[in-house]
Structure 1
Amino acid sequence: MAETDTPRSWDRRARAREEFIDAAYRVIDTHGPRPSMNDIAKEAGATKPRLYRHFADKADLYKAIADRTTRDVYKLVAPKFNFLLTTPHEALNHAITGYAEVVAEHPNVFRFLADGELKQDGAGSALSLDVERDLTDRLAGVASTIFESVSAEVSDVRFTARAAVGIMVSTTDLWLESSQGSAKPDTEYFAGQVAPLVWGVLDAFLRRNGIELDPTEPLYLALARINAP
Structure 2
Amino acid sequence: MSSSARESRTAGSGTGHQARWERHNSVRQTRILEAAVELLEENPSGARIPMQQIAARAGLAKSVVYRQFADRDDLDRRIRSYLVDVFAGELFTKLDITDGSIEEILNRTIHTVADWMAEHPRLHEFMRSGPTHEDASVDAVSSLKARMAARARAIITAVSKTIDVDDSGFESLTLAIVTMVEGMLTQWVRDPAPAKTRSEIVAELATYAWYMLDGAARSLGLVLDPRAELLAVIGQLAGADRGGVTP
| Residue identity (%) | 19
In structure 1, C-alpha distance between the alignment counterparts of 2:189 and 2:61, rounded to whole Å: 33
Q: Contact 1:118/1:127 (CA < 8 Å) preserved in 2?
A: yes
Q: Does 1:192 align with 2:206?
A: no
1:202 aligns with 2:213: yes
User: What residue in structure 2 maps to residue 164 of structure 1?
Assistant: 177
Moved more, 172-181 or 94-103: 172-181
Give 1:196 shift: 1.8
Q: Which residue of 2 aligns with 1:25?
A: 37
Unaligned runs of 5+ in 2: 1-10, 241-247
Give, in angstroms, the shift of residue 58 of structure 1.
3.7
Q: State the partner residue of 1:51.
A: 65
Distance 1:68 1:147, change over 3 A: farther
Query: In the alignment, what sits opposite 1:69?
Result: 83
Q: Which structure's CA Rg is the greater one?
A: 2
- After superposition, the C-alpha distances for 1:78-102 in whole angstroms (9 at most, x for unaligned) are 3476414421110100111122232
Structure 1 position 214 matched with structure 2 position 228 = no
Separation in 2, partners of 1:59, 1:4: 31
Q: 1:145 is matched with which residue: 154, 158, 165?
A: 158
Match of 2:190 in 1: 177
Give unmatched runs, 5+ long, in structure 1: none
Computed over aligned residues only, the root mean square deviation of the Cα atoms, in angstroms, reads 3.1
**TM-score normalised by length of structure 1:** 0.79
What's the TM-score once normalised by structure 2's chain length?
A: 0.74
**What SS class does the counterpart of residue 36 from structure 1 fall into?**
coil
1:154 is aligned to: 167
CA distance in 1, matches of 2:88, 2:167: 23
Q: 2:21 — aligned with what?
A: 9
- Whether contact under 8 Å (2:103, 2:227) holds in the other structure is yes
Residue 102, structure 1, aligned to residue 113, structure 2 = no
The answer for the alignment partner of 2:147 in structure 1 is: 134
Kindly state the Cα deviation for residue 76 of structure 1 after the two structures are TM-superposed.
2.9
- Number of the residue aligned with 1:226: 237
Deviates more, 1:63-72 or 1:104-113: 63-72
Residue deviations 1:166-208, cap 9 Å, x none?
1122122212123569xxx964244123212222222222223
| Aligned 8 A contact 2:81 2:140 in 1 | no
- CA apart distance, 1:154: 0.8
